[in-house]
């Protein structure tokens, strides 16, 4: 298969983790005989520095002319005093809107060898496996907002239309159908009008999926249930802001936010990105966890029905975890791996499992010093 992939590394640790993801995709192309072309563009703070805009025209064109987008991370405290509309985050928010990326899909699993890394007890998180479907093009993120001239008052409006809810609801119900057939709508319908609209629409859309059982949960209760009983969730459907918050919370189940991948789906574009932020304090140190971005490439491959390829990435990630070839967030020993080591292990493993494992096992036996 031939794929043109726009690569937007962004700020902070973005370029380091994106490099590993590109390495992994190149290994997949080599192993499975695909042709992936990568075209890099600026986004976020670096784009502001280079062009004055967090989403330059050239970057948007690159994304519009590509089959998929691989996105790193954006943001840096040096822009904290900038007006909200000129901050690096606008690069991502405008991109999501311009490309109509209406659904953000965030899977959460508990990896067996990492369960001790989670602050939650193993017996609570074991076998956790759910997906958050977060609406990404509307709600309070994009509603009318303003600060008064005297700076003493401000507002943000949460606005939703039926068709926006229906569109992502269909996607989420379709996913639930192929899974454990449970969909939980997370809202705040005891207080918010928009949440009442969400409930009505989801009940209506659900009529087309009679085999999927619908549950309704208020966001405050959901935030608690996610920690005390995460196994009960299968597909969580929610609006933009609740989805942003819940997905960071959910990532603690996996042991590190550095493991959480995501796919953003539109009618004509797809974007893949880690859910974590740009961690400027880690930038350039080669210690950021690249697994979330690498797992986002697995989602990219699966989106194009390259399931064997997606599995190859996931298996290699599992092996890196099993052999403890992981960055300091997951590995507190002195033998932690650097960002680039993790990317190298995973891409080498994809190309030639046997010789990579041979070397790793020899290192463990003290018989070799190179991977």
Of the pair 95, 313, the CB lying nearest Mg ion is at: 95
Q: Is 248 one of the catalytic residues?
A: yes
Q: Which of 67, 248, 336, 353 is catalytic?
A: 248
Q: What sign does the CA torsion over 13, 48, 260, 252 have?
A: positive
Q: Does 275 bind ligand IPM (CB under 6 A)?
A: yes
- The β-bridge relationship of strands 154-156 and 261-265 is unpaired
Could you say which of 89, 187, 239, 329 contacts ligand IPM (CB under 6 A)?
89
For residues 42 and 55, what is the distance between their CA atoms, to the nearest angstrom? 8
Q: Does 166 qualify as catalytic in the annotation?
A: no
Q: Is residue 5 at the binding interface for ligand IPM, with CB under 6 A as the rule?
A: no
Nearer Cβ to Mg ion, position 73 or 128?
73
348 is catalytic: no
Mode of pairing for the β-strands spanning 129-135 and 270-274: unpaired
Say whether residue 47 binds ligand IPM (CB under 6 A): no
- State the binding partner of 225 from Mg ion, ligand IPM, none, CB within 5 to 8 A by kind: none
CA atoms within 13 A on the CB side of 150: 2
135 is a contact residue toward ligand IPM (CB under 6 A): no
**Which residues, including other chains, have CB under 8 Å from residue 67's CB and lie 6 or more apart?**
3, 4, 5, 270, 304
Helix pair angle (57-64, 89-98), 10° resolution = 40
Applying CB under 5 A, among 244, 309, 341, 344 the residue interacting with Mg ion is 244
94 annotated active-site: no
| Count of chain residues binding Mg ion (CB under 5 A) | 1
For residue 68, give the H/E element and its range. strand 68-73
Minimum distance of ligand IPM from residue 117's CB (angstroms): 21
Give the H/E segment covering residue 347.
Answer: helix 339-351
Nearest distance from C-beta of residue 3 to ligand IPM, angstroms:
23
Tell me whether residue 92 or residue 292 sits nearer to ligand IPM (CB atom).
92
- Marked catalytic residue, from 220, 267, 311, 352: 220
| Binding-site member from 16, 244, 341, 344 for ligand IPM (CB under 6 A) | 244
Angle, alpha carbons 82-87-88 (nearest 5°):
140
Phi, psi angle pair for 261, to nearest 5°: -100, 170
For the record, the structure tokens of 347 come out as: 């891409």
Provide the 10 A C-beta neighbour count for residue 42.
23
Q: Which is nearer to ligand IPM, 92 or 172 (CB)?
A: 92
Residue among 11, 187, 234, 244 flagged as catalytic: 244
With CB under 6 A, what is the number of residues at the site for ligand IPM?
A: 7
Active site residues: 141, 188, 220, 244, 248
Q: State the residues that interact with Mg ion by CB under 5 A.
A: 244
- Enumerate binding residues for ligand IPM (CB under 6 A): 75, 89, 92-93, 244, 275, 277
């Amino acid at each position: 298969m031939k794929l043109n992939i726009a690569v937007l590394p962004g700020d902070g640790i973005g370029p380091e983790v994106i490099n590993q993801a590109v390495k992994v995709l190149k290994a997949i192309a080599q192993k499975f005989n695909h042709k992936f072309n990568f075209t890099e563009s600026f986004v976020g703070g670096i784009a502001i520095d280079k062009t004055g805009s967090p989403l330059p025209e050239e970057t948007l064109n690159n994304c519009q002319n590509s089959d998929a987008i691989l996105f790193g991370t954006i943001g840096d405290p040096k822009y904290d005093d900038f007006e909200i509309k000129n901050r690096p985050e606008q690069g991502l928010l405008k991109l999501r809107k311009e490309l109509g990326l209406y659904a953000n899909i965030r899977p959460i699993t508990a990896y067996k060898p990492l369960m001790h890394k989670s602050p939650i007890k193993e017996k609570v998180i074991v076998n956790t496996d759910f997906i958050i479907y977060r609406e990404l093009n509307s709600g309070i993120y994009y509603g009318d907002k303003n600060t008064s001239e005297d700076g003493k008052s401000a507002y943000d409006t949460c606005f939703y239309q039926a068709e926006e809810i229906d569109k992502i609801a269909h996607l989420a119900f379709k996913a639930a159908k192929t899974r454990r057939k449970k969909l939980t709508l997370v809202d705040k319908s005891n207080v918010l009008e928009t949440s009442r609209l969400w409930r009505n629409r989801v009940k209506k859309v659900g009529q087309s999926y009679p085999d999927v059982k619908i549950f309704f949960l208020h966001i405050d209760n959901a935030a608690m249930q996610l920690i005390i009983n995460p196994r009960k969730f299968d597909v969580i459907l929610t609006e933009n802001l609740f989805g942003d918050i819940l997905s960071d919370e959910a990532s603690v189940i996996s042991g590190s936010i550095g493991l959480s991948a995501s796919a953003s789906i539109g009618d004509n574009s797809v974007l893949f990105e880690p859910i974590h932020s740009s961690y400027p304090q880690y930038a350039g140190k080669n210690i950021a966890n690249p697994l979330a971005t690498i797992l986002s490439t697995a989602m990219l491959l699966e989106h194009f029905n390259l399931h064997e390829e997606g599995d190859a990435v996931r298996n290699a990630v599992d092996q890196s975890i099993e052999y403890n070839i992981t960055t300091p967030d997951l590995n507190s020993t002195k033998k932690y791996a650097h960002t680039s080591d993790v990317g190298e292990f995973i891409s080498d493993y994809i190309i030639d499992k046997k010789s990579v494992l041979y070397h790793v096992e020899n290192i463990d036996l003290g018989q070799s010093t190179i991977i």
